[in-house]
Structure 1
Amino acid sequence: MSAVPGTVQTVGLFAGQHVLAELEGVDPALLDDEPFLRRTLAEVLDLAGATVCDVISKQFEPQGVTVLALLSESHASVHTYPERGALFVDVFTCGTRAKPERAVELLTEALRPTSAQVQTINRGEAEAPADGHREGAS
């Protein structure tokens, strides 16, 4: 919906950050606690400036949980392996308001792994300078 009739509002930059993490050495009981994981993921995303629209989850038998968060900025997921004391984390946000690296940092603090491997992938395009020229463009 446009703010002024006849105008079009833009959604924002076609750019974002995709943070991928592998955490190991986590208490297996936490990794099999679906309510804790749902609540914790939603809380860390909120603290990192993301807008959480919905959170869904699936408890697996005999163990393991997947939690998905739908964000206005994109999505986040956690997939656990209690039998290994490990999990995968994936947080992707578009624009610059939400801080996906902060979300992963807060989640890591909550889970207290013995090791964490985190990588950030910048996606899309950076904002064009005010003069309209992009670096390297002719």
Structure 2
Amino acid sequence: MAHYGDELTLRLSAVTDTRLLDDDQALITFMRDLVTRIGMTVIAGPLVATEGGPPEKAGKSAVVILAESHAAIHTYPHLREIFVDIFSCKPFREQDVLAEFHRLVGDFHVAERTLTRRGEEWPRNLDAARRHWGGVRAALSSVHD
């Protein structure tokens, strides 16, 4: 049975150019460019939030909700690190994701990488999906009764 989609998580270390990692507008533009390059459709965002605190914990988080799921990054300029999470029901190429990060920050080292096939038992057939979620809903309502 086919899986629902792929989730790519990365930790990029030794980032060469950290200037844009603390710039809200640059991260908004980057997130739009990233999801466009990997062929996704934005339905909300990008949103950027600032994480305060000591330099080793300070940075930015950026997220975009996609018709295909979501993409999020967390930047730590003082540590020269970026955490990445992209989950999509539509196939995408990891090398396109990495190319966009190279455009943003120059060189880096991929310190952690995980590609996970999500939803191995996910029903592709709409009738099967309706039956599945109907059973889940019924089970939940019996717990609350």
Q: Shared topology, TM-score over 0.5?
A: yes
2:102 corresponds in structure 1 to 109
- The answer (yes or no) to whether the contact 1:38–1:57 under 8 Å persists in 2 is yes
Q: Structure 1 residues 52, 100: closer, same or farther in 2, change over 3 A?
A: farther
Report what 1:58 is aligned to.
49
Q: How far apart are 1:100 and its partner, in Å?
A: 5.5
Name the % identity: 28
Task: Name the counterpart of 1:3.
Answer: none
* Displacement of 1:102: 4.5
Task: Kindly indicate whether the alpha-carbon contact (under 8 Å) linking 2:3 and 2:117 is maintained by their aligned counterparts in 1.
Answer: no
User: 2 CA distance for matches of 1:69 and 1:127?
Assistant: 23
Alpha-carbon displacement from aligned partner over 1:35-75 (angstroms, at most 9, x marks no partner): 11111111111111111112111123364110011000000
Count of residue pairs brought into register by the alignment: 114
State the shift of 1:108 in Å. 2.4
Q: Show structure 1 runs of 4+ deviating over 6 A.
A: none
Distance 2:83 2:76 in 1: 9
C-alpha offsets along residues 88-138 of structure 1, whole Å, 9 cap, x if unaligned? 000000144xx162452233222223301332111113899xxxxxxxxxx
Q: How is 1:57-136 mapped onto 2 (pairs within 5 angstroms)?
A: 57-61=48-52, 63-96=58-91, 99=92, 101-110=94-103, 111-116=105-110, 117-125=112-120
Q: Single out whichever of 32-41 and 70-79 deviates more from structure 2.
A: 32-41
Give the alignment's Cα RMSD to 1 decimal: 2.4
TM-score (norm: length of structure 1): 0.71
Where does structure 1 lack aligned partners over 5 or more consecutive residues? 1-12, 129-138
**1:14 Cα deviation (Å)?**
5.5
